[in-house]
Amino acid sequence: MLTLTCFEIMKIVVLTGAGISAESGLGTFRDKGGLWDEYKIEEVATPEAWLKNPELVLNFYNERRRLNNLANPNQGHYALVELEKHFDVTVITQNIDNLHEKAGSKNVIHLHGEILKAKTEELSEKHYPISGDIYLGDTGEDGKQLRPHVVWFGESVPLLNTAIDHVADAKIFIVIGTSLNVYPAANLIHYTTKNCKSFLIDPNRVQTRVKNIEMIYEKASVGVPTLVNKLINTYK
């Protein structure tokens, strides 16, 4: 049982993956029928793919953006907004969709980028809001081709250290809907301190070497609201 001193607002860090958006109609990558059944990672989500066939890469992400625009948050996303009303919550998401923001979450760190932003091949810090398709020939202010603001496999993760600092500060760490197969994001779970209580919500068994973690075998739409209610009733 965690103890709190008076007036301290407990810091809760949440790590989400594709699974939290599955019930909103956005496919995960590794589940049966997931995106990697349809596409090969190396053909659409790597710098090499971009050099070889940028049109295919743009089409793949244009399709992701169209689906994102049609999707709505589910009870899992909304429960995290409720959590924010009671605790100091930071959501670290591996997702490129904007469903946490659409639900109303305020502190969201997109480790792997955002589908509703573009940047140029120059990889400058400048990001362009984008809600429609990107085509070959679309350029940024530097005259270079626009690409999605997404971290591809093999690229560095600029927000990793910020995410690590949040996890190291957490009193409660909640992992939702990630196979913990994509690194370095999967390593975040190892940065919790020994006083931190951790939970993992996923309908399927997720392999992890972390021992002190409470497994909740539920879909996000059920498991997240249940855990959020439990945390509010226990600590508020």
Which of 65, 77, 100, 112 touches ligand NAD (CB under 6 A)? 112
Could you give the CA distance from residue 129 to residue 135 in angstroms, rounded to a whole number?
Answer: 15
Q: How far is the CB of 4 from ligand NAD (least distance, A)?
A: 29
Q: In what order do the strands lie in the sheet with 11-16?
A: 108-110, 88-93, 11-16, 172-176, 197-201, 213-216
Q: How far is the CB of 185 from ligand NAD (least distance, A)?
A: 7
Nearer to ligand NAD, 84 or 114 (CB): 114
Q: Residue with CB nearest ligand NAD?
A: 19
Using CB under 6 A as the binding rule, whether residue 84 contacts ligand NAD is answered as no
Binding window for ligand NAD (CB under 6 A); candidates: 4-12, 54-62, 92-100, 138-146: 92-100
Could you give the CA distance from residue 123 to residue 215 in angstroms, rounded to a whole number?
Answer: 39
Collapse the DSSP code of 103 into the 3-class scheme (helix H, G, I; strand E, B; otherwise coil) and give the result: helix
* CB-CB neighbours of 22 under 10 Å: 20
Using CB under 6 A as the binding rule, whether residue 204 contacts ligand NAD is answered as yes
Which of 202, 225, 227, 228 touches ligand NAD (CB under 6 A)? 202
Nearer to ligand NAD, 31 or 82 (CB): 31
The CA-atom distances, in angstroms, between 232 and each of 22, 83, 107, 180 are: 25, 7, 19, 27
What count of Cα atoms within 13 Å lies in the side-chain half-sphere of residue 88? Answer: 10
Using CB under 6 A as the binding rule, whether residue 181 contacts ligand NAD is answered as yes
Using CB under 6 A as the binding rule, whether residue 29 contacts ligand NAD is answered as yes
Using CB under 6 A as the binding rule, whether residue 17 contacts ligand NAD is answered as yes
Under the phi-then-psi rule, with left for phi > 0, alpha for psi from -120 to 50, and beta for the rest, what region is 68?
alpha
Helix (H) or strand (E) holding 5: none
Catalytic (active site) residue 112: yes
Q: How far is the CB of 214 from ligand NAD (least distance, A)?
A: 15
Which of 65, 100, 171, 219 touches ligand NAD (CB under 6 A)? 219
Q: Of 77, 100, 110, 112, which residue is the catalytic one?
A: 112
Using CB under 6 A as the binding rule, whether residue 206 contacts ligand NAD is answered as yes
Biggest CA–CA distance in the chain, Å, is 58
Whether 20 and 174 have beta carbons less than 8 Å apart is answered as no
Whether 191 and 218 have beta carbons less than 8 Å apart is answered as no
Using CB under 6 A as the binding rule, whether residue 198 contacts ligand NAD is answered as no
Using CB under 6 A as the binding rule, whether residue 104 contacts ligand NAD is answered as no
Where do contacts with ligand NAD occur on this chain (CB under 6 A)? 17-23, 26, 28-31, 34-35, 94-97, 112, 177-179, 181-182, 202-204, 206, 219-220
Catalogue the active-site residues.
112
